[in-house]
Amino acid sequence: MSKPAIVTPDPWLRLQGLTRARVALGRAGVSLPTREVLRFGTAHAQARDAVHQALDVASLQADLQDAGFASLAVHSQAADRSMYLRRPDRGRSLTPESLALLARQGPRLWAARPRLAVVLADGLSSLAVARHGLPLLQALQPYFPELPTLPVVIASEARVALGDEIGQALGAEQVVVMIGERPGLSSPDSLGLYLTARPRPGLTDAQRNCISNVRPEGLNYPEAARKLAFLIAGALKLGRTGVDLKDDSDAALPDAARPAAGLAP
């Protein structure tokens, strides 16, 4: 004998095939059924963990090393996550120790006055950069064969603008900050890419170009790398990033689809 139905089902389940939104959930009385409360709670827990989990810098550095990228690890002036969340300004400046490290070790590891510096930043999801940072660099490499000679900096408790200080310290022409985005319930590990030409403190977002939602379920690695390579090449030509540099990579597909000439002058 089967139990009587407690939950009122919604006879429009087929709508679930048209959107990722939480439609046709059914109801217990007027409330969410237990199954959905647990599903939602799990998604929220994963998003929260993504925000609060510290980036495993040593592990990321080792993986980069194995793949042929020499990296340095720096920290912002936000001492911990609580300060990071309350004080965005602290997340935009390096500690004096980090600045000294870049000055001391940078010239030993990387080419001087690099065309491009890469910052792998935890942002609001360390999960994003831990999962997608290296694969994205590898997807970018066909466009820029000299990528392994360029600076890769791992930044903790970092906001996008921290890249300005890092880029300036390294004398880089452009900096790309690959940073964990604010996690959504269905996307705890979205990576955002921010490209800035002539990086220096005091720039605003209007002077950057952004590519967002980089992850296999969103904008995948090859597509993200292609768009980024397009912007880097465009910024080199234009001499600046920001609102004047348009992402016409889709319109320009035939040329941009294959690796461009790279960073060589």
Quick one: which of 1, 2, 3, 18 contacts other proteins (CB under 8 A)?
18
Q: Which residue has the tokens 């880097």?
A: 232
Quick one: which of 106, 133, 151, 183 contacts other proteins (CB under 8 A)?
183
The residue among 77 and 141 lying less far from other proteins, judged by its C-beta, is 77
User: Which residue type occupies 63?
Assistant: D
The residue among 48 and 104 lying less far from other proteins, judged by its C-beta, is 48
User: What residues have CB less than 8 Å from 217, skipping those under 6 apart?
Assistant: 187
Instruction: Report if residue 108 touches other proteins, rule: CB under 8 A.
Output: no
Residues 114-133 that bind other proteins (CB under 8 A): 124
Instruction: Report if residue 216 touches other proteins, rule: CB under 8 A.
Output: no
Instruction: Report if residue 83 touches other proteins, rule: CB under 8 A.
Output: no
Q: 175 with 119: CB under 8 angstroms?
A: yes
Residues 50-79 that bind other proteins (CB under 8 A): 50-51
User: Which residue type occupies 71?
Assistant: S
Instruction: Report if residue 43 touches other proteins, rule: CB under 8 A.
Output: yes
Segment interacting with other proteins (CB under 8 A) among 56-64, 145-153, 162-170, 183-191: 183-191
The residue among 187 and 249 lying less far from other proteins, judged by its C-beta, is 187
The minimum distance between CB 46 and other proteins, in angstroms, equals: 9
The CA distance from 177 to 159, in Å, is 9
**Residues near other proteins (CB under 8 A), total:** 41
The full 3-state SS of 71-113, as one line of letters, equals: EEEEEECCCCHHHHHHCCCHHHCECHHHHHHHHHHHHHHCCCC
User: What residues have CB less than 8 Å from 232, skipping those under 6 apart?
Assistant: 116, 143, 144, 174, 176, 195, 263
Say how many residues make up the chain: 265
Q: From the CB of residue 244, how many other CB atoms can be counted at a distance below 10 Å? A: 13
The minimum distance between CB 55 and other proteins, in angstroms, equals: 15
The residue among 80 and 89 lying less far from other proteins, judged by its C-beta, is 89
Instruction: Report if residue 187 touches other proteins, rule: CB under 8 A.
Output: yes
Sign of the Cα pseudo-torsion (139, 145, 148, 152, in order): negative
Q: Which residues contribute to the site for other proteins (CB under 8 A)?
A: 8, 10-12, 14-16, 18-25, 27, 29-32, 36, 40-41, 43-44, 47-48, 50-51, 85-89, 124, 182-187
